[in-house]
Structure 1
Amino acid sequence: MANLTFTLRSGRRLGVTTFGDPDAERIVVLCHAAPGSSVFDPDPDISSTRDVHIIAIDRPGYGSSDPWPPGSWPSIAQAADDIAEYLRAMNTTEGQLGIHRPRQVGAAGWSAGGRVALALAARHPELVDRVAVIATPAPNDAVQWIPPQLQEEVERLAALPPDDAVRQLSGMLQGQADTVAAAGSADEMPFDAVGVTAVDERALELPGVRDRLARMLRDAFQQGPAGVAADILSYTARPWGFELAEVRAKTLVIAGQGDAIAGNAHAAWYRRQLPDARQEMVPGVGHLVIVPAWGRVLSHVAPGTAKKRGAAASGEGKEVEQEEAMR
């Protein structure tokens, strides 16, 4: 579960998990996948050897966060606004305690979380100066990736009242939630639920990755499948609530060359649509690219924060120098 909760002005609660150095000046917001939750640290060794404070927040219905209010459509834009409210409240509280961090942060989003990271940058440009979009699918009408039969079902759900749409899609996803709940160990966990395929085997076998993903999936379905159902509806049944052209932050679009869900065509679409973006493809990995690429992601969203010992130990020094040269 998240290690703390935050109550929004609306009264809705958010689950918040933090990683890295709590005293670091640079803050990085990590937006999780779908299904997912805030408890997933892509690589704790990398996270702990950079001078960053990493904040992850459960979206509604996942982990420790309350579900969307009755009668409201799940919303990418509102998920981003929730994060912005938390960041501003944190700045206020820390200021009262004499802690003054830079106002702007870096934002990184894996898979469905990439849209939330972009929405945060677009809707709150004063808060976000750098973004990393990691293995995030493009809209289906731009790069087709949703099977036609499923797209037809989504269109049917979009015509229903939001509570009915979430309830019906949750019913369709109940089997996935049951499989996660029944898994006795990480080896039995259905990692394909988060897009992991055979090409990700090397990344999956890295120390601790299976256990961390399993913990994330268990936390994601702690309240049942409503969280992932809401996430799916937020980006298929309704407009995203922002324009990519509004994202002024420097953006890294990164994907695995073997990703069957959100590979090169998706990454290239984001690169073309975003005002200030570069694209990088990682060989030998698929949708789980966030694990081997985590050091590269942090070097972009938090440039110049590699601790000397950590950079030498992880081989990140060269990456940081390259990123600094591109600023």
Structure 2
Amino acid sequence: MTRAAAPDAAFEHRSFGAPGAERTVVVLRTGTATLSDPHPDVTARRDVRILAVALTVDDIDDPAAYRGTTPAEATADAISQFIAGEGHDTPVGLVGVGAAGELAILIAARLGAGVDRLALVAVPRPESELGGHEVAELLAEIDAKALVMNAGSDPDAAAAAARWFQERLSSARVEMVPRTSDPEGRLILADVWERVLSHAAPGTVR
């Protein structure tokens, strides 16, 4: 396990799972649990290395009126370079959760063939028409097989949001989760971690 500031970037990361595994999955989240293993028992059953990247709200800020490089673009540049170095010329799986979902989309578009699997978990659709147009353009550039997982009771990312992303991705499967462990109905990564790993790291069951 490692926990350190990523080289030449202002974000922390933690590595867990199987250190020498050929398959790497990068997880982008915000909040207090960004560097934790979503479900250690599930992770232990797979021959995969997980890189959890800690993000703050400032890291993913992308105001439409901002002149020059936005904070989100700068973060995407740094993490894209980091992933390219950690992937060792092998495609990785990428997981974006909640508010970090749009950043995951930006990174997947920039890395191209460097990301072959993308999972969007509880990601709300863009709030503005301008933001939606920009995200739609990025989604059109992504060839990775995508999985969109939302909860029907999620106040921000329910079925309509899932359909919005599916319609704009070249290869996407939507799976709605009927029940969550969150009292507000939000989808928690730990609840679907096994399914997310089966998509982002296929064929890695020990």
TM over 0.5: yes
Distance in 1 between residues matched to 2:97 and 2:32, nearest whole Å: 10
Distance in 1 between residues matched to 2:126 and 2:141, nearest whole Å: 17
* 1:16 and 1:58 in contact (8 A); partners too: yes
1:260 aligned counterpart, secondary structure: coil
Indicate which of 122, 127, 138 corresponds to 1:243: 138
The residue type paired with residue 120 of structure 2 is V
The residue type paired with residue 3 of structure 1 is R
1:184-223: CA deviation from partner (whole Å, max 9, x where unpaired): xxxxxxxxxxxxxxxxxxxxxxxxxxxxxxxxxxxxxxxx
Which residue number corresponds to residue 82 of structure 1? 78
Which residue number corresponds to residue 324 of structure 1? none
The residue type paired with residue 53 of structure 1 is R
Q: What does residue range 68-107 of structure 1 map to in structure 2 within 5 Å?
A: 73-75=70-72, 77-91=73-87, 103-107=90-94
* 1:51 and 1:306 in contact (8 A); partners too: yes
Distance in 2 between residues matched to 1:279 and 1:88, nearest whole Å: 28
Would you say 1:44 and 2:40 are equivalent positions? yes
Question: Which ranges in structure 1 are unaligned for 5 or more consecutive residues?
Answer: 66-70, 92-100, 143-234, 308-327
Which residue number corresponds to residue 167 of structure 2? 272
1:57 aligned counterpart, secondary structure: strand
Which residue number corresponds to residue 5 of structure 1? 5
Would you say 1:256 and 2:151 are equivalent positions? yes
Q: What does residue range 1-327 of structure 1 map to in structure 2 within 5 Å?
A: 3-8=3-8, 12-33=9-30, 35-36=31-32, 38-59=34-55, 73-75=70-72, 77-91=73-87, 103-141=90-128, 243-285=138-180, 286-307=185-206
Question: Which ranges in structure 2 are unaligned for 5 or more consecutive residues?
Answer: 60-67
Q: For the aligned residues, what is the CA RMSD? A: 2.8
1:56 aligned counterpart, secondary structure: strand
TM-score computed with the length of structure 2 as normaliser: 0.82
* 1:123 and 1:242 in contact (8 A); partners too: no
Shift of the alpha carbon at 1:39?
1.2
Which residue number corresponds to residue 162 of structure 1? none
* 2:150 and 2:175 in contact (8 A); partners too: yes
* 2:80 and 2:110 in contact (8 A); partners too: no
Shift of the alpha carbon at 1:254?
0.5
1:130 aligned counterpart, secondary structure: strand
1:13 aligned counterpart, secondary structure: coil
Larger radius of gyration: 1
Distance in 2 between residues matched to 1:102 and 1:303, nearest whole Å: 18
Shift of the alpha carbon at 1:61?
7.2
CA spacing shift, 1:78–1:242, aligned 2, 3 Å: farther
CA spacing shift, 1:247–1:72, aligned 2, 3 Å: closer
Distance in 2 between residues matched to 1:37 and 1:120, nearest whole Å: 21
Distance in 2 between residues matched to 1:22 and 1:134, nearest whole Å: 25
Distance in 2 between residues matched to 1:287 and 1:81, nearest whole Å: 29
CA spacing shift, 1:60–1:280, aligned 2, 3 Å: closer
* 1:15 and 1:38 in contact (8 A); partners too: no
Distance in 2 between residues matched to 1:240 and 1:280, nearest whole Å: 21
The residue type paired with residue 51 of structure 1 is D
The residue type paired with residue 293 of structure 1 is V
Distance in 2 between residues matched to 1:269 and 1:61, nearest whole Å: 23
Shift of the alpha carbon at 1:37?
5.8
Shift of the alpha carbon at 1:241?
9.9
Distance in 2 between residues matched to 1:86 and 1:46, nearest whole Å: 25
Higher strand share: 2
Distance in 1 between residues matched to 2:56 and 2:188, nearest whole Å: 25
Aligned pairs, number: 194
The residue type paired with residue 126 of structure 1 is A
